[in-house]
């Protein structure tokens, strides 16, 4: 389900909105760049998250339940999991060492926060005539990402700091990927890709932001 929320939902929304509101001459190009930015954000975040998990990951809050330590395991001394854990599910045990950063948090924000940025640009929410409805539409994906991230602390899969680090990671890569292709949502032509602006800074095409 994580891949659905972090990738497929933003992908479908971006594809549909791009095809609906952009000028026919630029429709496919804008859609392509938008989806490219999303894919780069999600997959870069996924790779970096896995590298950090394998390099610095610590015990999950539910590690003891995964380990099922022996009743006679020594207390108040450092021990190796292989010496005290009785579980036969080694895959689940090994995953108990990979809590930081939270993959659900990082990927959710990589996809859904990217979608918020993209919608902010396409809907030109920083213009004076932009109403509360546009802001609500823009904020909704980020709210979804936050709920997914916070949910990881409720089932004892992650510490709060894991969620915080993962969220910052996803937000950072979403910003990086989006701003490589599109101007800041606060700019006048926020809905127009940077490459099109280089060709013609006054290129005009139909956008909700122009209404």
Per annotation, catalytic residue among 104, 152, 157, 159: 104
Q: How confident is the model at residue 203 (pLDDT cuts 50, 70, 90)?
A: very low
Catalytic residue check, 158: yes
85: β partners: 69
Q: Does residue 200 have a pLDDT over 70?
A: no
210 falls in which pLDDT band (50, 70, 90)? low
pLDDT in tens, 74-92: 888 888 887 888 888 888 8
Distances (CA, A) of 138 to 13, 29, 65, 73, 200: 12, 22, 40, 52, 28
pLDDT of 132 > 90? The answer is: no
Q: So what's the pLDDT on residue 199?
A: 61
Q: What is the distance between the alpha carbons of residues 136 and 125, in angstroms, rounded to a whole number?
A: 10
- What's the longest Cα–Cα distance across the chain? 75
> Domain coordinates of the chain in residue numbers?
2-58+102-195, 62-98
The yes-or-no verdict on residue 211 having pLDDT over 50 is no
Catalytic choice (158, 166, 185, 191): 158
Mean pLDDT of 123-150: 89
* Alpha-carbon span 109 to 8, nearest angstrom: 13
- Mean pLDDT for 101-121 is 95
The distance in angstroms from the start CA to the end CA of the chain is: 36
Residue 210 is given by DSSP the state G
pLDDT digits (tens, 9 = 90+) for 6-39: 999 999 999 999 888 887 778 888 999 999 999 9
Q: Is 159 a catalytic residue?
A: no
Per the prediction, the chain carries an average pLDDT of: 86
What pLDDT, on a 0 to 100 scale, did the predictor assign at position 90? 87
- Mean pLDDT across the stretch 99-126? 92
């Amino acid at each position: 389900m994580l891949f659905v929320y972090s990738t497929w939902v933003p992908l479908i929304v971006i594809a549909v909105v791009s095809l609906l509101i952009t000028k026919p001459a630029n429709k496919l190009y804008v859609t392509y760049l938008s989806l490219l930015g999303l894919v780069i954000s999600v997959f870069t975040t996924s790779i970096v998250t896995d590298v950090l998990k394998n390099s610095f990951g610590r015990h999950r809050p539910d590690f003891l339940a995964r380990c099922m330590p022996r009743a006679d395991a020594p207390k108040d001394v450092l021990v190796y999991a292989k010496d005290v854990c009785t579980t036969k599910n080694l895959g689940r045990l090994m995953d108990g060492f990979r809590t930081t950063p939270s993959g659900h948090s990082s990927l959710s924000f990589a996809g859904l926060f990217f979608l918020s940025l993209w919608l902010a640009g396409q809907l030109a929410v920083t213009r004076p005539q932009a109403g509360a409805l546009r802001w609500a539409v823009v904020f909704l994906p980020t709210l979804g990402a936050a709920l997914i991230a916070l949910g990881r602390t409720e089932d004892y899969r992650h510490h709060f700091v894991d969620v915080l680090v993962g969220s910052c990671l996803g937000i950072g890569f979403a910003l990086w990927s989006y701003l490589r292709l599109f101007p800041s949502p606060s700019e006048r032509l926020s809905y127009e890709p940077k490459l099109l602006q280089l060709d013609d800074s006054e290129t005009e095409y139909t956008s909700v932001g122009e209404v």
